[in-house]
Amino acid sequence: MMLQGLFRGEWPRTILFDLDGTLVDSAPDLAASVDQMLRALGRPAAGEESVRQWVGNGAAILVRRALAGRVDYDNGPVLEETDFRQALDLFYTAYADRNGRHSSVYPGVIPFLQAALDHGCRLGVVTNKPGAFTGHLLELMELDHWFEIAVSGDTLPVRKPDPAPLHHAIEFLGGETTTTLMVGDSATDVQAAGFAGVAVVAVRYGYNYGGPVDDLGADIVVDSLTELL
């Protein structure tokens, strides 16, 4: 299905993008930071392949998954809050130094952003990444000028899959749910779009906790955003 098929032959008026795994491959820096944290705690490194399956719900959940060594971190030994806070502080310190160092913009992103602007779309980012890292990463990747708003995981009291961050961005951009598209890479993004009442495109190249993106129920699933042009 072509993108216009979701909007009665037109382009959406508002497009919201997830960041990690959708616009930017940030896993190398996230993995290096997680491994630095784990080594500081006397634990073995997790490695990039594992970390790619843990990204998507914000830094706190990433750290909890890393400490548990799996996505379903709740199914394991109870983690003391003081231990978690120590680990989270170690991760923040490590990632503040590494954020964007070895990250890269995915192929197809820039052509799609340009086409969207050419069609009069207003663009925003809605991510679960902490605000302290979101703006800096967008700047380092030279993506910040494309977007009018970036809603981070701590901008509001809730984060994706809660629909509030999407609604916040839509309101800021003067959009409507019926003419808004969400672009993401994970179940969190597809669920958030569903709760918000907006159409959603999912990309296969990102991070979806190791599961198949095609089974998430997105309106369109692509290997590259250029497929939508």
Dig out the tokens for 150 from the structure: 């970036």
Please indicate whether residue 25 is annotated as part of the active site: no
Helix then strand then coil, % of the chain, to nearest 5: 45, 15, 40
Beta-sheet strands, E only, within 84-156: 104-105, 122-126, 149-151
Please state, in angstroms and rounded to a whole number, the distance separating the CA atoms of residues 142 and 139: 5
Residues 6+ apart with CB under 8 A from 148: 122, 123, 124, 172, 173
Q: Quick one: which of 95, 97, 15, 14 has its CA closest to 55?
A: 95
Q: Which position among 18, 20, 29, 189 bears the catalytic label?
A: 18
Instruction: State the Cα–Cα distance between residues 2 and 47, nearest whole angstrom.
Output: 37
Q: Please list the active-site residues.
A: 18
